[in-house]
Amino acid sequence: MDLIIVESPSKAKTISKYLKGKYRVDASGGHIRDLPQKTLGVSIEKNYEPKYVNSPGKEDTIKRLTEEARSADRVYLATDPDREGEAISWHLQTVLGLDADKDNRIEFNEISPKAVERALKKPRKINYNLVDAQQARRVLDRLVGYKLSPFLNNKIQDGLSAGRVQSVALRLIVDREREIQAFKPEEYWTITAELQDKEKKFSPFKAALEKFEGKKLKIVNKEQADAALAALGDGSYAVNAVKKSITKSHAPAPFTTSTLQQDASNKCGMTAPETMLMAQHLYEGIDVEGEGHIAFVTYIRTDSTRVSEDAQASALSYIEEKYGREYCPEKPNVYASKKGAQDAHEAIRPIDLARTPESVKKLLDKKHYNIYKLIYERFIASQMAEAQYDSMQIEIENGAYGLKASGKTLRFKGYTAVYQESRKEDEEETGGKLLPALSEGDGLDGISLKPEQKFTKPPVRYTDASLVKAMEDKGIGRPSTYASIISVLNKRRYVEKEGKYMKPTDVAYRITDILLQYFTDIMDVGFTANMEEKLDEIEDGGKDWRSIIGDFYPPFEEKLRFANTDGDEETDILCEKCGSRMIRKSNKYGKYLACSNYPKCSNIVSEQGPEVSETLCPNCGQPMIVRMGKFGKFLSCSNYPECKCTLPFGEKAEDVLEGVCPDCGKPTKKLKSKRGKFFYGCTGYPDCKFLSWDMPTGEKCPQCGSAVIKTAKGDFRCSNRDCAYTPMTPAEEKHD
């Protein structure tokens, strides 16, 4: 039996159902091989050769897939139709030992029986241009992230990260906030006149004051507003011109990844990561009661607006049947994709138009339904005729002042019968009604004048939708990266949400400023967009990916070296360990001296000599000394090396000493594990190695000899869970 390998179990389940047991379908769970997690993984000396390793936790998956591949008649790699999917297939081919000369790669834009069967008839070899483009991005991002993140941690605070695209997106948010802070409101006034024809044949209507002596009028204070009101009140109104026309509104293009995220944010209040998660489920397949696993939409990571001829024909047939022939355009709608779009696959659309939003509403939860409804209606609307409006403008004169009234009514719904833009149609003062049928020269009565003081408003903070649009417009990142970038900015707490708006935190300003100071090119929007174009050139086969990294990295490394040493001063102070000169440096903790013989000698000392703290050692009673370590300041016993006790800087012994060791009777210290979980260790370490997740009381269980502990809830019990002994609490003992 032939084997088909995809990324996700959900996708495998859908395809397996469609192929009805003719093929074995299994999932890799994404990448099975990648750059190592804890090391750079790129050999700079060997022309930026990446050092791939099998991904941690994928041992069982690799073993299973290897055994299945060996026993299969043929193996097909059916990962997603993009760079990342091509790279996953390449890694699978390599790790599973598949023949690279065989046609074992298949791809499809939608998970449907027809699309899968068609793909199986046209297998191909791995496209190494796509693989190289993905490798270039991966290596480039690894070099930037792994080099800049330690720099930020050293200069600002621990736990920070930087990224080639992420940091530029953060700059957009910070720059916008600074624009808002620097904004100074400017006063202006509007004047609206309520008017009516002299015969009172028509209802009153409103007109806005726009011109003075034929030029655009801007009223900036109350004095100017009062002067205009007085002149209008003393004068008389007359129709100067009437303009009637039929205006048209063209249907919007079907969704790309970016426009889907924007629409979901504006209409459903969903974040970009949330939108992509729902869309991914709809693409891979969802369990539907009575039908099994069903895929609903085509591939959801795309910046193309292209639609296949079959899909377009189906849409036009559906539109004609449901809405009438007049709702079909004279020629099928074709949309131009933005410059640089990857046109290998289509725009996002429903797979089966028979699955209308109404028919699946009870089968999907609210969020999946909302996303499917957006995709379905946007696609149908994109293939429909234009909306038409009866539009009218009346220009009115009153002395030297000119006013204008505008209005329109819907003449033909067109695509708006299915889909409404997120913005409201501009119907100005008329509420969607046509203005009265006036003629040039008609006199008008003034009913009222309404002056209104206003102030210009600052730029609006970014939302998920507007940040995605900005990144797309500026060429920052690609469709597959928008959601992950926003997710990182939120998880790292570089931004905080005020409603749906993003506000940078204090650390965001510091990150942006220091990166702008030393790495202006990386933080430049144009530079980042140009790098995306170079990655596209690799995919097109015209560029060697290593040469692009080679052009970028040496200047970057030079900037990094300067940034790390900027402000360093060589001193005449000699290292007490090796005799080399000490260098005066500074980091987030302040100034210190470091040996110039690093890394052979890693001696670091405070320039003022050892600082004696007020804290006494809990083990021997000697004063604790403030020392500088890899992770900053800490307290160390002055009786070192006889006593090796250490404490966190800024904490007194009594603040961190809790409990009593049941083995030696010394105090226990509350510590934190690498994973952030607290535990208790004896201060007599290394002579006493007692450890406990709960606070020890110093007592031992009379039944089994284990430690008696106090839990976080305040309960006392034996630390041996198999022991039934329950000690009395201090209150119970006192009462007893």
- Tell me the catalytic residues: 299
Cα-based distances in Å from 38 to 42, 53, 148, 368, 598: 12, 11, 15, 37, 22
SS3 (DSSP) at 251: coil
Q: Which two tokens stand for residue 610?
A: 């050892």
Burial of 355 (0-12, 13-18, 19+ CB in 10 A): middle
CA dihedral (80, 263, 484, 59) in degrees, to 10, reads: -40
Q: Which two tokens stand for residue 701?
A: 């269980």
Q: Facing residues of 54 across strands? A: 33
User: What is the spatial distance between Cα 373 and Cα 728, in angstroms, rounded to a whole number?
Assistant: 62
In the chain, how many H helices and how many E strands?
A: 19, 33
Q: Quick check: 270 and 310 in contact, CB under 8 A?
A: no
Supply angle C-alpha 503, 506, 510, rounded to 5.
Answer: 115
Encode 560-581: b = buried (16+ Cβ within 10 Å), e = exposed: beebbeeeeeeeeeebeeeeee
Which residues make Cβ contacts (< 8 Å) with residue 93, sequence separation at least 6?
77, 100, 104, 126
List, as one string, the DSSP characters of 620-674.
Answer: T-PEEEEEEETTEEEEEETTTTT---EEETT--HHHHEEEE-TTT-PEEEEEE-T
User: What is the spatial distance between Cα 174 and Cα 505, in angstroms, rounded to a whole number?
Assistant: 9
User: What is the spatial distance between Cα 609 and Cα 629, in angstroms, rounded to a whole number?
Assistant: 15
SS3 (DSSP) at 486: helix
Q: What are phi and psi of 479, to 5 degrees?
A: -50, -40
Q: Which two tokens stand for residue 18?
A: 């469609």
Q: What are phi and psi of 468, to 5 degrees?
A: -60, -45
Taken in order 146, 150, 152, 158, is the CA torsion positive or negative? positive
Taken in order 704, 708, 709, 714, is the CA torsion positive or negative? positive
Q: Which two tokens stand for residue 730?
A: 């201090």
Residue count (the chain): 736
What is the crossing angle of helices 309-323 and 366-382, to 10°? 90
SS3 (DSSP) at 73: coil
Q: Facing residues of 286 across strands? A: 294
What is the crossing angle of helices 272-284 and 366-382, to 10°? 80
Return the DSSP state at 224.
H
User: What is the spatial distance between Cα 628 and Cα 615, in angstroms, rounded to a whole number?
Assistant: 16
Alpha carbon 170 to its chain centroid, in Å, reads 11
User: What is the spatial distance between Cα 398 and Cα 235, in angstroms, rounded to a whole number?
Assistant: 6
What is the crossing angle of helices 545-565 and 128-155, to 10°? 0
Return the DSSP state at 44.
G
User: What is the spatial distance between Cα 409 and Cα 432, in angstroms, rounded to a whole number?
Assistant: 5
| CA atoms in the 13 A half-sphere facing the CB of 664 | 15
Burial of 141 (0-12, 13-18, 19+ CB in 10 A): middle
